[in-house]
Amino acid sequence: MIKLEHIGIAVNNLEVSIPMFEKLLNTGCYKTELVESENVRTAFFQKRDIKIELLESSHPEGVIAKYIEKKGEGIHHLAFEVENIEIEIRRLEKDGFVFVNNVPKKGADNKLICFLHPKETNGVLIEICQEITSK
């Protein structure tokens, strides 16, 4: 099973963007998080089945800072939740997809993540993610 988990939006400033999205979605931000390995601060919103992740660079040389410098604020990625990220990586590689990183790493919101290269997906950065479960 695969489902849209969230839409990632690159922003310059969470302090400005969080209140705007709270008004827009008529719901509060339920979580903020610093993901040091990615040099990013995140903020999450959920409205019914729609989940939005705002991404602010925590470092001037971070991926999000470079993205905004090149393309401006806006949709950064689509994330799809999968049941088993290792199996999905192998399946997608077998079908010819190229990954930015094909080894899952810990991301925000208690997820293992990896990204497909946008050159392979019509210019859209695709994240696949799996909920981290404790054993």
Rounded Cα distance, 126 and 115, in Å: 6
Mean pLDDT of all residues in the chain?
94
The whole-number average pLDDT for the span 85-108 is 94
Contact 115, 89 (CB under 8 A): no
* Residue 135: per-residue pLDDT: 57
The whole-number average pLDDT for the span 87-106 is 94
Backbone dihedral angles phi then psi of residue 14, each to the nearest 5 degrees: -65, -35
The whole-number average pLDDT for the span 83-98 is 95
Question: Is it the case that residue 134 has pLDDT exceeding 80?
Answer: no
- pLDDT single digits (tens) 28-75: 999 999 999 899 999 999 999 999 999 999 999 999 999 999 999 999
Share of the chain above pLDDT 90, in %: 90
Cα angle at 104 between 7 and 131, to 5 degrees? 60
Rounded Cα distance, 100 and 127, in Å: 10
Which pTM does this prediction carry?
A: 0.91
Half-sphere exposure of 135 (CA within 13 A, CB side): 0
Residue 127: CB atoms within 10 Å: 21
